[in-house]
Amino acid sequence: MEEEDFYFPDTDLDLSFTSTVTDRTFASSSGRSSLTLSFNDRLSTSSAITTSSTSTVNHRRQDPHWSAIKSAKLLSSDGTIHLRHLKLIRHLGTGNLGRVFLCNLRGDSSARFALKVIDRNNLTTAKKLSQVETEAEILSLLDHPFLPTLYARIDESHYTCLLIDYAPNGDLHSLIRKQPGNRLPIQPVRFFAAEVLVALEYLHAMGIVYRDLKPENVLLREDGHVMLSDFDLCFKSDVVPTFKSRRYRRTCSSSPSLRRRKSGCFSGEKKYEREEIVAEFTAEPVSAFSRSCVGTHEYLAPELISVNGHGSGVDWWAFGIFLYELLYGTTPFKGGSKEQTLRNIASSDKTVNFHVDDSDSEEARDLIEKLLVKDPRKRLGCARGAQDIKRHAFFDGIKWPLIRHYKPPEEVRGLVVKKSTRAHGGHVIAVSPRLKKWVLWRALCNLLRGKSSYGGSKNQSNSNYYHYIGKSYASRKRV
Ligand SMILES: Nc1ncnc2c1ncn2[C@@H]1O[C@H](COP(=O)(O)OP(=O)(O)OP(=O)(O)O)[C@@H](O)[C@H]1O
């Protein structure tokens, strides 16, 4: 069936898009918040800046998203993506800075994207404006399977829009709420925690301190793997990767040659402890330092609350809270009010309590205790970063370099895992050159068809006046 060339919402959704020029109005009703995307030609030509992701080395540059983007750019008069090239499908959610829409490129529905639309006129403070820039800057640096790719930044009129990966499986917070007792079984916790750990490790290696880890910000891709989102609270510092030597004691049995020599007088195998020194690669921003108190109350590290300055250790603290929440459905220092929660976190008397003592999660509990150490100097991860956490018994048996190939926990209620058409890591499933050409040709034809029906006219860019009414958004508010 030919795809109609206009915006349309899912019919069972409480939203509407209205075009004042074409007078197309779609199902509208009792939404509680609204957004108007209005453009006019003069503004959009004079101030339109479209920057592609700077990530030219993106490990997924051969996937259908990049192919779609490439085709669209080829057909665009100035070689860049504009809002008029995008077709909004539905509203996905509203955050602190703006709204997020599901969209695809007009005339090419093969690749879906999320579009974060920030209306700069609604950003009342310089702080918010700088958060937008932080988010855009950080996104442009990322190239990792568990982090979103920025396909394009579009600055048009008073909007800044970020075109990123769409994660259709919702977020971990909603997933936990679908489980019996709001708790995930230990194996899925291991899976999600390991992927988040690897994503944090990558961010830290780039000198980025995330500062907003919570299940709401861990989105789930179509294939069930994680994708961290929301980078407006990050801060970036320099990181100096180093080799550090580390001593550790290993229990070994005596060597075969030694055993042979001693076999005359010794029958039993002797165990002995050996101290080994290994060189480890560390890329943790250990000198990162910030004084701003940002984040979500229940996830704030004590040093963030005391405002004496903090570094990347705040992410390892949050990782401990995150593990606790996945396992127990609540956070460990939560009080009756936000103030009480902050007091519980800051007070040295309040330590982490486990209400459930099942043997299954013994190692997870030990890891959580080591992460939720109030003094960041003694906290696991703060000296050498993720390396130390990966080595904890909770993650025993995980082959870290292969983690992106692990099968997501399909048994988790509410997680619909679609088999990926591409393997992670840039290895696209074998596609013959002929098929590739055909796909590209189809995409070009679709785009041309789309262009002729909407893109050719001069008043195209001022003909978009989309009034949107969507649902309001409730979350654990940040500080
Ligand atoms: N890439 C995406 N794929 C699918 N849904 C997304 C995507 N990005 C965001 N969303 C949805 O849109 C909502 C708003 O996201 P956004 O990143 O703007 O802010 P947030 O994380 O919810 O809130 P805040 O920035 O205030 O902490 C999210 O809650 C999520 O449900």
User: Do 46 and 8 fall into the same domain?
Assistant: yes
User: Do 273 and 179 fall into the same domain?
Assistant: no
Q: Which of 99, 118, 160, 229 to mutate to test the pocket of ligand 1 (most atoms within 8 A of CB)?
A: 229
* Ligand 1 atom, smallest distance to 164 CA: 1
- Sign of the CA dihedral with 23 first, then 26, 30, and 31 last: negative
CATH code of 158's domain: 3.30.200.20
Q: What digits encode the pLDDT tens for the residues 32-90?
A: 333 334 443 333 333 333 444 444 556 666 688 988 898 889 888 898 999 999 999 99
Ligand 1 site, residue 322, Cβ cutoff 6 A: no
User: Do 351 and 269 fall into the same domain?
Assistant: no
Give the residue numbers spanning the domain of 76: 3-165
CA-closest residue to ligand 1 atom 19:
95
Q: What digits encode the pLDDT tens for the residues 260-278?
A: 444 443 444 566 677 776 6
Q: Residue 402 gets which letter from DSSP?
A: G
Q: How far apart are CA 364 and CA 359, in angstroms?
A: 10
Percent of the chain with pLDDT over 70: 66
CA-closest residue to ligand 1 atom 13:
93
**pLDDT band at residue 384 using 50, 70 and 90 as cut-offs:** confident
User: Do 233 and 249 fall into the same domain?
Assistant: no
Q: From residue 46, how far is each of 42, 56, 330, 355 by CA, in Å?
A: 6, 27, 50, 60
Indicate the range of 36-45, 364-373, 413-422, 441-450 predicted with least confidence.
36-45
Mean pLDDT score, 359-366 = 90
Ligand 1 site, residue 305, Cβ cutoff 6 A: no
Q: How far apart are CA 381 and CA 392, in angstroms?
A: 11
Ligand 1 mean position to 244 CA, how many Å? 38
pLDDT at 238 (0 to 100): 74
Domain stops at, among 165, 191, 216: 165
Asked whether the predicted pLDDT for residue 427 surpasses 60, the reply is: no
Mean pLDDT score, 187-214 = 96
Collapse the DSSP code of 445 into the 3-class scheme (helix H, G, I; strand E, B; otherwise coil) and give the result: helix
Ligand 1 mean position to 452 CA, how many Å? 33
Catalytic residue check, 12: no
Closest CA to 461 of 120, 43, 117: 43
Q: What digits encode the pLDDT tens for the residues 108-157?
A: 888 999 999 999 999 989 999 999 999 999 999 999 999 999 999 999 99
Indicate the range of 72-81, 213-222, 326-335, 388-397 predicted with least confidence.
72-81
Closest CA to 205 of 312, 334, 63, 333: 312
* Ligand 1 atom, smallest distance to 232 CA: 25
Q: Which of 92, 142, 472 to mutate to test the pocket of ligand 1 (most atoms within 8 A of CB)?
A: 92
Helices marked H in 271-413:
302-305, 313-328, 338-346, 362-371, 386-390
Residue, of 21 and 206, whose pLDDT is higher: 206
Q: How far apart are CA 457 and CA 463, in angstroms?
A: 10
Any idea which residue has 């904890």 for tokens? 392
Ligand 1 mean position to 230 CA, how many Å? 7
Q: What digits encode the pLDDT tens for the residues 237-249?
A: 876 667 666 666 6
Neighbouring C-beta atoms of residue 153, cutoff 10 Å? 23
Ligand 1 site, residue 113, Cβ cutoff 6 A: no
Looking at the structure of the chain, the number of domains it has is 3
Mean pLDDT score, 449-454 = 41
Ligand 1 site, residue 213, Cβ cutoff 6 A: no
Q: How far apart are CA 137 and CA 108, in angstroms?
A: 28
pLDDT at 360 (0 to 100): 81
Range with the largest mean pLDDT of 136-140, 303-307, 475-479: 136-140
Asked whether the predicted pLDDT for residue 423 surpasses 60, the reply is: no
CA-closest residue to ligand 1 atom 28:
93
pLDDT at 278 (0 to 100): 66
Mean pLDDT score, 286-305 = 82
Ligand 1 site, residue 16, Cβ cutoff 6 A: no
User: Do 136 and 183 fall into the same domain?
Assistant: no
Query: Which residues does residue 276 pair with via DSSP β-bridges, in sequence order?
Result: 248
Q: Which of 108, 212, 230, 315 is catalytic?
A: 212
pLDDT at 469 (0 to 100): 24
CATH code of 229's domain: 1.10.510.10
Residue 368 in domain = yes
Domain stops at, among 390, 405, 420: 405
Percent of the chain with pLDDT over 90: 49
CA-closest residue to ligand 1 atom 16:
95
- Sign of the CA dihedral with 177 first, then 181, 183, and 188 last: negative
User: Do 25 and 159 fall into the same domain?
Assistant: yes
* Ligand 1 atom, smallest distance to 212 CA: 27
CA-closest residue to ligand 1 atom 9:
100
User: Do 76 and 219 fall into the same domain?
Assistant: no
Domain stops at, among 134, 165, 196: 165
* Cβ(98)–Cβ(119) below 8 Å: yes
Residue 469 in domain = no
Q: How far apart are CA 212 and CA 100, in angstroms?
A: 18
User: Do 161 and 298 fall into the same domain?
Assistant: no
Ligand 1 site, residue 92, Cβ cutoff 6 A: yes
Mean pLDDT score, 451-458 = 36
Mean pLDDT, the chain, rounded, equals 76
Ligand 1 site, residue 132, Cβ cutoff 6 A: no
pLDDT at 232 (0 to 100): 92
Q: How far apart are CA 285 and CA 283, in angstroms?
A: 7
User: Do 107 and 28 fall into the same domain?
Assistant: yes
Ligand 1 site, residue 296, Cβ cutoff 6 A: no
pLDDT at 59 (0 to 100): 64
Ligand 1 mean position to 180 CA, how many Å? 25
Ligand 1 mean position to 465 CA, how many Å? 23
**pLDDT band at residue 292 using 50, 70 and 90 as cut-offs:** confident
User: Do 135 and 146 fall into the same domain?
Assistant: yes
pLDDT at 124 (0 to 100): 86
Ligand 1 mean position to 161 CA, how many Å? 13
Length of the chain: 479
Residue 289 in domain = yes
Kind plus residue range of the DSSP H or E element containing 413? none
Mean pLDDT score, 411-417 = 88
Residue 432 in domain = no
**pLDDT band at residue 445 using 50, 70 and 90 as cut-offs:** low
* Cβ(194)–Cβ(404) below 8 Å: no
Ligand 1 mean position to 139 CA, how many Å? 14
β-pair type (33-38, 49-52): unpaired
Residue 343 contacts by C-beta under 8 Å, 6 or more apart in sequence? 335
User: Do 269 and 337 fall into the same domain?
Assistant: no
Residue 55 in domain = yes
Residue 439 in domain = no
Angle between helix 64-75 and helix 433-450 axes, rounded to 10 deg = 50
User: Do 56 and 142 fall into the same domain?
Assistant: yes
Residue 431 in domain = no
And the tokens for 406? 């692990």
Q: Which CB contacts under 8 angstroms, 24+ apart, belong to 398-404? A: 398/190, 398/194, 400/194, 400/198, 403/194, 403/195, 403/198, 404/145, 404/146, 404/225
Residue type present at position 241: P
Ligand 1 mean position to 215 CA, how many Å? 12
Ligand 1 site, residue 116, Cβ cutoff 6 A: yes
Residue 422 in domain = no
